[in-house]
Structure 1
Amino acid sequence: MLFAESVYKTRQGKVADAWKGLLGPQDLVLIHSGEAVQKPGGLDQTYDFLPHPSYFWLTGHRRDEGVMAYSVSEGWIEHQRPLSPVDIVWEGAEGNFECEHTLVDLQKKLQGGAYKRVFHLGQTSEKSFEAETRELSIKLDQVRRCKDSHEVQLIRQIAAMANKGYQALQNALRPGITERELQLHYENAVLMAGADKMPYGSIVGSGENAAILHAVPTKKKVVSGELVLVDAGADIEDYCVDITRVFAVDGKFTGQQKDVYDLVHDAYKASVALCRPGTQWRDVHMKSARVIAEGLQQWGIWKSSVDAALESGAISVFYPHGVGHLVGLKVRDTGNPENVNPQRYYGARLRVDLELKENYLITVEPGCYFARAFIEDNDLREKYKDHIQWSEAEKWKSFGGVRLEDDILITKGEAESLTNVVLK
């Protein structure tokens, strides 16, 4: 287990409390870890198994086909497929465990007629009562959305591993090195520092590629005078960090680069300052967008006022994404399933739209980009012809972009960056 057994018992108790009033004496909740997925054309090969995060968070176990059961009368009981000699010979027994209750035991219980309603959560194709299942799932997500001290400490450790990668990448950065080589310098250092894997495909974009939000590292060589944007993390058993930094290839920003960097840094600081319990996340996003819009006004990008550029959504040409997302156990963590109809705020569609609470962990990642694909798009030019001075925007389309990102813990007072070990 990643944490002490008592940590998981505490978590189970919190979820049981959250479900009070939702379950009757003849109800059963089953949380499935999921099944291994065969690779297309891979014959006996499967993808690396990733347990559903709710199952893993409650049990600390990573076996496929596991089921965690909860009923008011019996409490929590975990069921597993027994580990066979074939499993051990092919895959080894390290990290596995012997479970007192098997899937056969569970099947007998279900066939015995003791339960009127069975709810299936986690990674499963089983059907159950839709509205009630959704409510149980949301309650579970809301409990695990608040990070406990053990999770916070682990994420700090993972951030230190990511820092080794950023140091290695920065040391390797020079004109002529490729984006792909920078990725390898980063990832090798992170893995050598103790990480299991990367939490997502590492993003390395130089020059104009820095304006591609999910830039896949290529064989493109970085050039003197360019910026390099790196969005990369580290992962231990699905716990992870998500960090973005920007570097000058020559080790020093040009005046124009520093202006954009400072603008995004101002948006970052203003956003973090708002990250307190009771704040609506949409307000954090809108504050970041306003700071970016005011900076663009100084450079002659707007025909209209800052307010008009924001309300029309024109700001989304240069800042097309939300200011952040929940992070921790997987890079998107619990998400925000309560948000059934995501709204747009200043042109950006916010999948996370909730009130911040103590111990939430969320990324703050404002950005300012001059994407050639947007600047040259005829539909966007027509849509925002009354707001954007396109002749001025044209002058920026080879610039690329700047994004800064940290993982921010909401506390009773000022928010805390768990990833500030990586220097900006």
Structure 2
Amino acid sequence: MVAEDFESVLKGKYPAKAHAKRTVELLPSKPSEGLIYLEATHTKLQEDNDSPEHFRQRRYFFYLTGCNIADSYFTYDIKTQKSTLFIPAIDPDDVIWSGLPLTAEDAAKKYDVDEVKYSDEVNEILSSFASANASATVYAIENQIDASVKIDVFKNKDLKEVKKAIEEARVIKDEYEIAMIRKANQISGWAHKAVTKRAKTAKNESELQAAFMEVCIANNAKEMAYHPIMAAGRAAATLHYVDNSQPFGHKLNLLIDAGAEWENYASDITRTFPLNGKFTPDSRALYDVVLRMQEETTVMIKANVHWDDIHLHAHKVAIDGLIKIGILKGDPQAILEARTSAAFFPHGLGHYLGLDTHDVGGNPNSKDKDIMFRYLRLRNKIPAGSVVTVEPGLYFCEFIIKPFLEDEKHKQFIDESVLNRFWDVGGVRIEDNVLVTENGSENLTDAIKAADEIEALFK
């Protein structure tokens, strides 16, 4: 698909039937019959309040329906491949407050399902299916079955397989899903540019968060894929900084990690830029190392390459760059084997991206004894059609680095006199969203990142 064509793709329907079929193919038991049963997020009131909690659709439900309506249900007959969506019936008492909801007829036109019924028919359909198919198994997700639903009419229940199958299916994106991620990236790229421009006059982090969200909401991307990070100065060394309220004063840089959703599909973009429009020599030197880390690892991406190997290369580039700056000293291979670079690059190079920011299927291993790989959210060979983030970073967090300085194994490789110049730099991270192809990759993020281009924006 040509990048410019994604808008035409989005004029079609979300391919829910194809997703259901793929999910069945990935069920470990390979059933020839049975029923998949899923539920949407249920409306829940805030504690001690008559307003509902913020709605976020269950991603497993959305993947098989494309439906963003709360309190809905879904069944899929494995043998006949018939999909049925159940949406809430029209409540006359609620229309005056919330307006007329989607009717079953309208929903049948909007969603890629075979039939649309109202939710008060769910139990009748389940009972009917179970009676007609006594030996069939119902595949549902544990702890996502409402107490009012009579799933016990089935003699055979499996509450594990379908969740795992959907997670595996979600790794490889189809054309429509990629178009959604492109759209989320496009809008987020506009918003990142707005933040850079607003930095000329902004006095605090909150102003820049507002600038980002204004562009997203104005372009109908009202949901953020995650809480935006607007980390100025030393706060950039906090990986998931969420304060976003501090004044700038004389702080050097801003690290912005922010991305909007488009119909539940995420973007995840990070940029770092000087608040006064001009990198200091130390900030520029560090920025160039991180940019090189990102560019070289992105070139390595193609189908069936193991993500561990790409992540390892990022550390090698980081070590080389930090030696040239003077922060690290000694033999690069010895530094790599000691894992000293993890003091400055403590997280993984990236993760899968899709219906979740940290999308499913990455096979992480938080118990890995190797500190270089412990925090990776992606530990697989990456298939064509998957979307990954590439987000190297270098940070100066005293809480992380000081224990390394107290350890002779690491201390010998760190020049503290040079290191002390960089605390106020805070940290640099650069992140793009990349589509894996058979022979390479395609960068879906077009927000500017060359240092000279960033400085030119301020001029």
Residue 456 of structure 2: aligned partner: none
Residue 144 of structure 2: aligned partner: 124
- 1:289–1:315 contact (8 Å) kept in structure 2: yes
1:159 aligned onto 2:178: no
1:22 aligned onto 2:30: yes
Unaligned runs of 5+ in 1: none
Residue 395 of structure 1: aligned partner: 421
- Number of residue pairs matched? 421
1:78 aligned onto 2:102: no
Q: Following the alignment from structure 2 to structure 1, what is the Cα–Cα distance between the partners of residues 406 and 95? A: 58
- 2:21–2:81 contact (8 Å) kept in structure 1: no
Q: Following the alignment from structure 1 to structure 2, what is the Cα–Cα distance between the partners of residues 18 and 406? A: 30
- What is the deviation of 1:175? 6.6
Q: Following the alignment from structure 2 to structure 1, what is the Cα–Cα distance between the partners of residues 346 and 250? A: 27
Which has the higher mean CA deviation after the structures are superposed, 234-243 or 60-69? 60-69
- What is the deviation of 1:163? 2.1
After TM superposition, list the pairs within 5 Å mapping 1:172-187 onto structure 2.
172-174=198-200, 177-187=203-213
Percent of paired sites with the same residue: 25
- Compared CA separation, residues 353 and 125, structure 1 to 2 (3 A): farther
* 1:88 counterpart (95, 102, 125): 95
1:137-176 per-residue CA deviation (whole Å, 9 max, x = no partner) reads 3332222221111222232222221122122211111376
Q: Following the alignment from structure 1 to structure 2, what is the Cα–Cα distance between the partners of residues 93 and 383? A: 67
Q: Provide the TM-score with structure 2 as the length reference.
A: 0.82
- What is the deviation of 1:382? 6.4
Residue 66 of structure 1: aligned partner: 72
The residue type paired with residue 83 of structure 1 is: A
The residue type paired with residue 69 of structure 1 is: T
1:177-201 per-residue CA deviation (whole Å, 9 max, x = no partner) reads 1011111111112211221221111
1:139 aligned onto 2:165: yes
Residue 128 of structure 2: aligned partner: 109
- Compared CA separation, residues 53 and 96, structure 1 to 2 (3 A): farther
- Compared CA separation, residues 73 and 335, structure 1 to 2 (3 A): closer
The residue type paired with residue 54 of structure 2 is: D
Q: Over aligned residues, Cα RMSD in angstroms? A: 3.1
1:405 aligned onto 2:411: no
Q: Following the alignment from structure 1 to structure 2, what is the Cα–Cα distance between the partners of residues 176 and 374? A: 30
Q: Following the alignment from structure 1 to structure 2, what is the Cα–Cα distance between the partners of residues 309 and 32? A: 51
Residue 314 of structure 2: aligned partner: 288
- Compared CA separation, residues 227 and 19, structure 1 to 2 (3 A): same
SS of alignment partner, residue 398 of structure 1: helix
- Compared CA separation, residues 3 and 16, structure 1 to 2 (3 A): farther
Residue 108 of structure 2: aligned partner: none
The runs of 4+ residues in structure 1 deviating greater than 6 Å are 126-129
- Compared CA separation, residues 361 and 192, structure 1 to 2 (3 A): same
Q: Following the alignment from structure 2 to structure 1, what is the Cα–Cα distance between the partners of residues 371 and 309? A: 9
- 1:275–1:410 contact (8 Å) kept in structure 2: yes
Residue 59 of structure 2: aligned partner: 53
- Compared CA separation, residues 105 and 173, structure 1 to 2 (3 A): same
Q: Following the alignment from structure 2 to structure 1, what is the Cα–Cα distance between the partners of residues 429 and 143? A: 33
1:320 aligned onto 2:339: no
* 1:237 counterpart (252, 263, 271): 263
1:31 aligned onto 2:38: yes
SS of alignment partner, residue 45 of structure 1: coil
1:100 aligned onto 2:117: yes
Residue 12 of structure 2: aligned partner: 4
- What is the deviation of 1:291? 0.8
